Structure formats: structure tokens, C-alpha cells
Structure 1
Amino acid sequence: MNTTEVFLIAMTVIFALPYLLWRLARTDYVAPLVVVQILAGILLGPGVLGAAWPQVYAALFPPPVIQALNGLAWWAVMVFVWTAGIELDLGQVWRQRRECGTTAALALGAPLLAGSGAALALLATGGGWIGPAAMRWQFVLGVGMACAVTALPILILLMEKLAILRTPLGERVLRYASLDDVAIWGVLALILVDWERVGRQAAFLLLFAPAAGLFRALMRRLAEADRWYVGLIWLAACSYAADRAGLHFMVGAFLAGAVIERRWFAQQRLDLLREHVLLVLMPVFFLSTGLRTQWSMGGAAVLAAAALLLLAAVGGKLAGAYLAGRLLGWRRGEAWIIGWLLQTKALIMIIFVDVLFDRQLISGACFTALLLMAVASTMLSVPMTAPRLRRALRGDADAQRTDVAALPARAR
């Protein structure tokens, strides 16, 4: 078979396998389709398919096919990160800055510290977790931030499933996650600072501000149909400039979206774009991520590392939400619900560690452990949140009925 035919067979497998697993096993409550797609990518990677049937793996994913899939994956994840940047509503965050700042700082800082502690523990076991190009502080900060990440786009999907996206609680959680999103890319830019190319990186940041000002002025004068096309040109240009400067194209993609105001686009069309990218392109990214998974330190060691990282991520996030609730006087049970909603890590966290792996700051075994942690924490979000959310909503309804019953008959 020629490369085109093998590519099309690979695409068939990429889309068919996760869909059949998701639909036939009815995993939607525990594992939405996006999580099953990530798991399918791991199954199709060298650590599972490549180890069990190396000839099948080599026939299905020869180098030319992997190169073509990687090209699709790069563009898919760039568009996805761009839309995540657009979704940021920093104006609303500023209006609620005390609550948002306190919650975001604690919900990010606590798991960051716990994850950094887990990274130090991994380093103490040996050098197989750190990448060949990493300094210790880059590895510790990178793993710590991976444990602290909340994936804003997946959080939106899960809150839609729980029917709380447009409720006051859902809007609060989105504001907290938006601030964390900004911090994630800021920390990534810090980790990627290359002192040999720091002048080029500084020049990119200095030139980005006036370029963004001109771009925003242009966008205000365009019709919405033109804004989409010009926005994509801006996305490609910013991603190239950031990568050329040594910051990685994902930092550029996020910055390209962050300077765009959400009100410039119809919310329904923005939601549709995100859903279509998830449907049409992101499964290829999940597969390309799965192709990177390695078990070079042995399966038991990788699973143990994943469990340690999961404990740090979940425990840290819940502790941060609990402290925020105590300081801000949240109602009983809200901290638990918010803490579990903010556990959604798949996608943005995977993109984050994909960059770390690309730059050789983490090893293949560490990448695999972090990937497993991201999948597990995301799978826990809905089952842990849904029953407590139902109880909270029932309590609100009962309280409302009691308040109404207590009114005088004339007032009712």
C-alpha cells in the first residue's frame, strides 16, 4: 500500500476505535468521549500496541504517516489553544478580583506545591524522570504546574453535561479557571526561557504588544465573517514568531487568542468551532500524544509515579479550594464541588507536558505518568461532583420553598 492508503487506514482506526469503546461501553458518565480518545491514543502507541504487536504498529504508523498526523495535530492543538485564549473574560475576572484572585491563587498554588514535592520525590528515586535538557528547577516547576493545571475547554464541556455552565456557580468556576489558564502559560514561558536566546525572546514580547494593538484596532473595523479569517492568520503568525523566538508555538497560540475579545464573535459560533475542532481534528492530536508514551522505566514504576502525581494533584486542588472557601465564606459543600470541578486536566495539561517533552525537560516515562494522571483526574471529576451537586441543588430548592411558605399569604 502507498502512504495515502496507510494514512487513511490509520485515520479510520483513530476515529473508529474510541467511538466504539465510548458508545458500546457507555462510558460517558465516567469517561467522556474526549477522555476515551486520549486512552485510545495510549493503546495505539508504542507502549501498548507497539509492545504487543510491533509488526502491526510498524505497518499502521510508518514514519511518513506519523509525520502527516503530526502536522494535523499541530494545527488542531493550535486552534484549540487559540479558542481557549478567546474564551478568557478578564474583564469579568477584574470586577470580581478579590474572590477570583484568592480562589485562583489557592487552587493553583496548593497543587503546585504538592506537585513540586512529588517531583522532588521522583528525582530522589533516580534520574530516569528528568529530561536530558532540563535543569532541576525546570523539571520541578514543570511537574508541579502539570499537577496544578485546570483545562478550561474540558471544564466547559463537563459543566455543560452537568447543566451548570450558565448558572452563577458555573460562571464563578470559569472565572477561577480563567486566571489559572493565564498562569499556566506564563509559567510555561518562564520554564522555556533560553538564556542563549533571551534577547530574541524579549524582542518577541516587546514587539507583540504593539502588534497586538494594531491587530485589535483592525479587528474592531471588520465584520465578524472577516474576523474569523484574519484571526486565523494572526494565530499562524504569532505561533511562528513565538516558536522562532524559542518560546514554543503553543505560547504564541494562546497569546494570539488572549488579545481577542470574546464579544467580537457570536458565542454560539465560538462554541461550535470548539466542538468541531474536538470532533474533527483533536482525535489526531490524542493519537500523536499516544505515540509518544513510553514505559522505559517499567510499567510498575510509571504507574506508581502516576499514582503519586494524582495524589498530589487531587489533594492539592481540594486543599486549595477548601482554604478559599474558609477565607471567602462559601456555603457548606461548595468547596468540595468547586475543587472537584477544577480537577479537569485533560487537553491543556497534555498540551503543557507535550511541550515539556518536546523540549526534553521531562523523560518519556515521566510524560507517560503525567498523561495517566491527567486522564485519571479528569475521569474523577464528574462522578465525584454530580451527587454532591444534586444534593446542593435539592437543598437550594427546599430552602426556596421554605422561604416562599414563610411569606404572608398576601405577599405570595
Structure 2
Amino acid sequence: MNSTDIFLVAMMIIFGAPYLIWRLARLDYYAPLVVVQILTGIVLGPGILGAAFPHYYDTVFSGTVIQALNGVAWWAVMLFVWIAGIELDLAQVWARRRECGITASLALGVPLVFGSIAAIMLLGWQGGWIGAAAAPWQFVLGVGMACAVTALPILILLMEKLAILRLPLGQRILRYASLDDIAIWAVLAVILLDWERVGRQLLFLLLFVCAAWLFRRLMRRLAESDRWYVGLIWLAACGLAADRAGLHYMVGAFLAGAVIDREWFDQTRMDLLRHHVLLVVMPVFFLSTGLRTGWSVGGAAVFVAAGLLLLASVGGKLAGVHIAGRLLGWGRGEAWSIGWLLQTKALIMIIFVNILLDRHLITADTFTALLLMAVVSTMLTVPLVAPRLRASGGDRQPLSLDDAARPADEMNALPNAAALIDGTST
């Protein structure tokens, strides 16, 4: 078979195998399809089936095919992060800044500390975890942040499944997760900071602010149909500039979306775009992520590391949210449900650790342990939260006007990325 035929065989496997497993095993209660796609990639990768049947792996996932799949995966994840940046809404967070600030900081800070301690334990246990280009502090902070991350897109899917997304409880959780989403990218920028190229990185940020100001003025003058095309050109340009500056194209993709006003696009079309990206191209990213796993330190060691990281991630998140609940006087059982939902990992965390692997800050074995931790933590969420929600009534009161609408005076006071660039309020 020629390269095109083998590529299409790989695409059939990427879309077919996870879907069949997900449907035939009836796993939709426990995990979104994206989790099964990641697990399937791990099984199909070089560490399991690739080791057992090397000829299969070398044929189907040859260097040429992997290169083609990587191109699709890069653009898919850039689109997804760009959309996440566009939809980042800080107005509701600012309106309830005391509650959100306390909860988000504890929900992020405590598992960050727990995860950092786990990373230090891995370094002291044996070699093979830290990447060749990493300073110890980068490895510790990177693994700690991976344990603290909340996967906002997967969180939304799970809350839709639990029928709480549009209820007050769901809106509260979204506000906490949105604030943490900003912190994730800020910490990533610190981790990737290259002191040899810090001047180039600072120049990129300065030029980005100027370019974003001009870009926003242009976008206001365009019809919506033209904004989609111009927005995609802007996305590619920002990704390229960030990568050339020594950051990462994902940082550029997020910044490209963060300076765009959500109101410039029809929300229904934006929802459809997100859905189609998840359906059509993101499976390539999820499964290709699984193909990057490694087991050179030994399978047992990887599973032990994954268990340690899972304990740090879940325990830290539940502890942090419990402390926030005590400080804010939450009702009985709220911290449990909110904590388990906020510890959902998968998508954003996987993007985060892919970047760490790309920059050689972690090894393939650490990457594998973090992936396994993310998959298990996400699969635990619905089975542990659903019974508690049923017992408590699931916070089934309808969404109040305060939860559904944004107070105009508080919105005008909101300091957001767009306002900092061109002095306007979104």
C-alpha cells in the first residue's frame, strides 16, 4: 500500500476503534468518548501493541503517517484552544470575585502543592522522569500544575450529562474553573520562559499587544462572515509568532482567542464549530497523544507513579475546595460535589503535558503516568458525583436572573484582556 492508503487505514482505526469500544462496552456513563480515544491510543502505541506486534506499528504508524497525523492534530488543538480563549468570560467571575477568588485559588493552589510534592518524590525515587531540557523547578512546577488543572471543556460535557450545567451549581463551578483556566496558561508561560531568549519573548508580548489593538479595530469593521476567515489567519499568525519567540504555539493560540470578543460571533455557530472540531479532527489529537506514551522505566513503575499523581491530584483538589467551603459557609455536601467536578482532567491537562513533552521537560514515562492519572480521575467523576446530586436534589432550582444575566455596572468594571489592549469594555 502507498502512503495515502496507510494514512486512511490509520484514520479508520483512529475513528473506528475507540467508538466501537465506547459503544459496545457502554462506557458513556463513566467516560466521554475522548477518554476512550486516549486510552485506545495508549493501547495502540509503541508500549503495548507496538511492542507485541512491531511490524503492525511500523507499518500503520510509520514516520510518514505520524507526521501527517501530527499536522492534523496541531491544527485541531490550536482551533480548540482558540475557541476556549474566545469563550473565556470573566464578567461573572468579577461580579463574584471574593467567592471565586477564594475558591479558585484554593482549588488550584492546594493540588499544585500536593502535585509538586509528588514530583519531588518521583525525582528522589529513581531516574527516568525528568526531561533532558528541564531544570528541576520546571519539572516540579509542571507536574504540580498538571495535577491542579481543571479540564473546562470536559467539565462542561460532564455537567451536561448530570443536567446541572444551566443550574446555579453548574454556573458556580464554571466560574471557578474559568479563573483557573487563566492561571494554567500564566504558569505555563513561566515554565517555558527561556532566559537566553527572554528578550525575544518580551518583544513578542509587546508586539502582540500592538498587533491585537490593530486586529480588534479591523474586526469591528468586518461583517461576521469575514471575521471567521480573518480570525483563523490571526490564529495561525499568533501561533507562529509565539513558537518562534520560544514560547509555544498553544500559548499563541490561547492569546489569539482571548483578545476576541465573544459577541462578535453568533453563539450558535461558535457552538457548532466547537462540536465539529471535537467530532472531525480532535480524535486525531487524542489518539496521537496516546501514541506518544512510553514505558522505559518499567510498566509497574509507571502505574505506581500514576497512582501517586492521582492521589495528589484528587486529594489536593478535594482538600482545597473543602477549605474554601468552610471559609465561605457552603452547605453540607457542596464541597464534595464541586471538588470532584473540578478535579476533572483530560483535555486541557493533556494539552498542557503535551507541551511539556514537546519541550523535553518531562519524559515519555512521566507523560504516560500523567495521562493515566487524567483518564482515571475523569472516569471517577460521574459515578461519585451523580449519587450525591440525586440525594441532595442536584441543586434543581431554576437559574436566577442574577445567574443568567450580567450586572451592567460590574461588567463595565471588569478588567479583561481586550480592555487592556484597546481601552474598551466587552
Which category describes the TM-score, using the shorter chain as reference length? over 0.9
Q: Is the counterpart of residue 234 in structure 1 residue 231 in structure 2?
A: no
Structure 2: distance between partners of 1:391 and 1:85: 36
Aligned residue for 2:195, secondary structure, equals coil
Q: Aligned AA for 1:312? A: A
Q: Is the counterpart of residue 210 in structure 1 residue 210 in structure 2?
A: yes
Aligned-pair identity in percent equals 76
In the other structure, the counterpart of 1:276 is 276
Spell out, residue by residue over 1:157-213, the C-alpha distance to the aligned partner (whole angstroms, 9 max, x if none): 111111111111111111111111100011011000111111000001111112112
Aligned residue for 2:337, secondary structure, equals helix
In the other structure, the counterpart of 1:360 is 360
Shift of 1:85: 1.0
Q: Is the counterpart of residue 30 in structure 1 residue 30 in structure 2?
A: yes
In the other structure, the counterpart of 2:266 is 266
Q: Is the counterpart of residue 174 in structure 1 residue 174 in structure 2?
A: yes
In the other structure, the counterpart of 1:299 is 299
In the other structure, the counterpart of 2:11 is 11
| Structure 2 segments unaligned to the other structure (5+ residues) | 398-426
Q: Aligned AA for 2:251? A: V
Aligned residue for 1:46, secondary structure, equals coil
Structure 1: distance between partners of 2:387 and 2:265: 35
Structure 1: distance between partners of 2:53 and 2:357: 25
Q: Quick check: 2:129–2:362 contact (8 Å CA) kept in 1? A: yes
Shift of 1:394: 6.3
In the other structure, the counterpart of 1:403 is none
Shift of 1:127: 2.4
Spell out, residue by residue over 1:75-133, the C-alpha distance to the aligned partner (whole angstroms, 9 max, x if none): 00000111111121012211111111111100000000000000000000122110111
Q: Aligned AA for 2:190? A: L
Q: Aligned AA for 2:391? A: R
Structure 1: distance between partners of 2:394 and 2:94: 32
In the other structure, the counterpart of 1:153 is 153
In the other structure, the counterpart of 1:98 is 98
Aligned residue for 1:197, secondary structure, equals helix
Structure 2: distance between partners of 1:254 and 1:25: 35
Aligned residue for 1:309, secondary structure, equals helix
Q: Quick check: 2:45–2:293 contact (8 Å CA) kept in 1? A: yes
Q: Aligned AA for 1:255? A: L
Shift of 1:43: 1.1
Q: Quick check: 2:151–2:346 contact (8 Å CA) kept in 1? A: yes
Structure 1: distance between partners of 2:378 and 2:395: 26
With normalisation by structure 1, the TM-score equals 0.94
| Structure 1 segments unaligned to the other structure (5+ residues) | 398-412
Structure 2: distance between partners of 1:25 and 1:192: 40
Spell out, residue by residue over 1:245-268, the C-alpha distance to the aligned partner (whole angstroms, 9 max, x if none): 000100001111111122222222
- Correspondences of 1:58-77 after superposition (within 5 Å): 58-77=58-77
Spell out, residue by residue over 1:293-320, the C-alpha distance to the aligned partner (whole angstroms, 9 max, x if none): 0000000000000000000000000011
Structure 1: distance between partners of 2:396 and 2:261: 34
Aligned residue for 1:196, secondary structure, equals helix
Deviates more, 1:371-380 or 1:299-308: 371-380
RMSD between aligned residues: 1.2
In the other structure, the counterpart of 1:47 is 47
Structure 2: distance between partners of 1:277 and 1:293: 24
Structure 2: distance between partners of 1:271 and 1:356: 29
Structure 2: distance between partners of 1:394 and 1:143: 33
In the other structure, the counterpart of 2:423 is none
Structure 1: distance between partners of 2:360 and 2:200: 21
Matched residue count: 397
Spell out, residue by residue over 1:125-148, the C-alpha distance to the aligned partner (whole angstroms, 9 max, x if none): 122110111000000000000000
Structure 1: distance between partners of 2:175 and 2:236: 27
Deviates more, 1:212-221 or 1:180-189: 212-221
Shift of 1:395: 7.7
Aligned residue for 2:393, secondary structure, equals helix
In the other structure, the counterpart of 1:383 is 383
In the other structure, the counterpart of 2:328 is 328
Aligned residue for 1:68, secondary structure, equals helix
With normalisation by structure 2, the TM-score equals 0.91
Shift of 1:229: 1.4
Q: Aligned AA for 2:362? A: I
